[in-house]
Structure 1
């Protein structure tokens, strides 16, 4: 029975999630499988991958052929390296301790690279936030300046409108005062004429 290590799609439309499985090459993509070896979530950055390295190496030693994507995942998690090192142990080129030491060193180096990438991504996000905040502050300052200009123009127009209104009010007061002075005098004349 030819065995393949491949991805089996899970998740929902637009949000794929994969299981890494060992399955008969004649079975359907999402059909029966022999063993689940791990998961792969490409929706996050960096992608989240969990893998049973020892189980994957066991299937590789038994002749399972990984698909292209599964091969990249196995390489990323070190299953192919461990398979290669165990081949060297079987041929007598390495001792098992040396192979384990090389594999552990590789894992530490890989973990540092992943942490470095996460740090770079976090730094890039912070820089993007800072740039967006600066741009937003600049837009707000422009809006405040424009609002202040509009308010100053409105105040100037009100002052101009109030000046003629004040002059008209003063003129009306003067006319009223003049009429009030003339009115008592006219009443006095009428009283004198009646007498």
Structure 2
């Protein structure tokens, strides 16, 4: 039995949501699976990925083959790196404590990078909102200035029109 780590599609049309599952390769895409090891939501920015890394590494060690997209997700969350470090421990290159230390350092760097992206997106949203408010304020000022000019012109034309009307009525 060939085992795959792949995505199962859920969610509405146009709003995908995926479960990361371990399944027999002969099973349908959204059909029977062996174990659910995480979720993936591509709608959010950055994409939300929840993954049981230890379970994924165990399945990879047992011979499960990830699909291309699942491989990218496993790499992003560090499951492939953790498997690589466990291979080094098995060969005697370093001990388990050092492998855990390297993995935790990698995780912290990755989380900092993701947090930087989130804060950058939030800052860009605030900047866009401020720019829109400034543009709206300029339009409102121009509108008020045009209205004042129109009122002043009407005020200057009204006495002149009254004088002409009174001159016309005096002549008659």
Which range, TM-score by smaller chain? over 0.9
Q: Partner of 1:123 in structure 2?
A: 123
SS in 2 for 1:23: strand
Higher Cα Rg: structure 1 or 2? 1
Q: Which has the higher contact order (CA 8 A, sep 6+)?
A: 2
What is the CA-CA distance between 1:168 and the residue it aligns to?
Answer: 5.3
Shift of residue 166, structure 1, vs aligned partner = 4.0
1:154 Cα shift? 2.3
When you count helix as a share of all residues, which structure comes out higher?
1
Partner Cα separation in structure 1 for residue 15 and residue 159 of structure 2: 63
Instruction: Give the length in aligned residue pairs.
Output: 172
Secondary structure at 1:30 match in 2: coil
Residue of structure 1 equivalent to 2:89: 89
The match for 2:22 is: 22
Aligned to 1:47: 47
Deviation of the 1:73 alpha carbon: 0.7
**Distance (Å, rounded) in 2 between the aligned partners of 1:150 and 1:100:** 75
Q: State the TM-score, normalized to the length of structure 2.
A: 0.93
Partner of 2:146: 146
2:98 maps to what in 1? 98
What is the distance in 2 between the residues matched to 1:32 and 1:163? Answer: 93
RMSD after superposition: 1.6
Q: Which runs of 5+ in 1 are unaligned?
A: 176-195
Where structure 2 has 5 or more consecutive residues not aligned to the other structure, the ranges are: none
By how many angstroms is 1:23 displaced? 0.8
